[in-house]
Amino acid sequence: MKLIIHILKYEMKLSAAGKSLFLSTCFFIIIIFAASIGTSEFGVRTNKTSVAILWTALSLSALLSVGIMFQTDYEDGTLDWFFLSPVSLELLVTLKAISHWLTTCLPLVILTPLVCIPLGINVASSLWISVIMLIGTPAISFTSTMGAALILGERGSHLLLSIFILPTFLPTLMFGIKISMLVLNSIYDFEALFLMIAISLVCIALTPFITAMIIKVHYS
């Protein structure tokens, strides 16, 4: 257990050293404000566009730190050590996904009620949307590990990463936008919310094994 906690702390420090939180937060805010000005200027701002902007900004911002998820460990040989360590590769992937969620997705979720203001979303609805994002973002963090594993050893592959990963975000984005839209109309669809919980749980359960398999294939 101590080793697991140590690895998680190390991963979080690695994320902090890479300034991923700062970059993701700034990118998130810039997208929201730019889209808010654009939709307001041309008179096309609706509940649907506001919610779509929020979820799209969240997904793109979360991608910024994915490229370095395994890259540093691959370059300094740490990833090789895990093949011989008592900690399984699947557990390492899980810890990296948790670290990504804690250092990237969670701060963006906390920031959501504030960035909802320029989009014209009221406080009560913005808090509900934050809860929905809290439920949906684990799926984003865990599926991101697969893309990070696929581009292992490749420099400057952020575009390739986006091509691999963004399609896997679609179920979360679709349900997130749908539920958020209903919330803005004072409709609370708990069945859809449970489906989103199920999507996150499936991603948490399956992606560590898929990602570990991709890494093993890379080393074989």
3-23 tens-digit pLDDT: 778 878 887 777 766 677 788
pLDDT at residue 41 in the model? 66
pLDDT at residue 84 in the model? 74
Residue of 196 and 156 predicted with greater confidence? 196
Is the pLDDT at 209 greater than 80? The verdict is yes
pLDDT at residue 35 in the model? 85
For residues 100 and 65, is the Cβ–Cβ distance under 8 A?
A: yes
Ranking 11-15, 32-36, 43-47 by mean pLDDT, the lowest is 43-47
DSSP reduced 3-state for 68: helix
Q: What percentage of the chain's residues is helix, strand, coil (to nearest 5)?
A: 80, 0, 20
For residues 6 and 97, is the Cβ–Cβ distance under 8 A?
A: no
pLDDT at residue 198 in the model? 94
Confidence of residue 155 (pLDDT cuts 50, 70, 90): low
Per residue, what are the HEC states of 147-204? HHHHCCCCCCCHHHHHHHHHHHHHHHHHHHHHHHHHHHCCCCCHHHHHHHHHHHHHHH
Report the domain count for the chain: 1
pLDDT at residue 40 in the model? 72
Taking the C-alpha atoms of residue 45 and residue 93, their distance in angstroms, rounded to an integer, is 40
Contacts of 113 (CB under 8 A, 6+ apart): 123, 126, 127, 130
CA distances from 156 to 1, 162, 164, 175 (A): 35, 12, 14, 31
Q: Which of 156-160, 168-172, 201-205 has the highest mean pLDDT?
A: 201-205
Q: What is the pLDDT of residues 112-132, one digit of tens each?
A: 999 998 888 888 899 999 999
Residue of 101 and 35 predicted with greater confidence? 101
Q: How many CA atoms lie within 13 A of 17 on its CB side?
A: 9
Q: Print the domain residue range for 36.
A: 2-219
Q: Which of 25-39, 78-92, 145-159 has the highest mean pLDDT?
A: 25-39
Q: Chain-wide mean pLDDT for the chain?
A: 85
The secondary structure element, H or E, covering residue 2 is helix 2-17
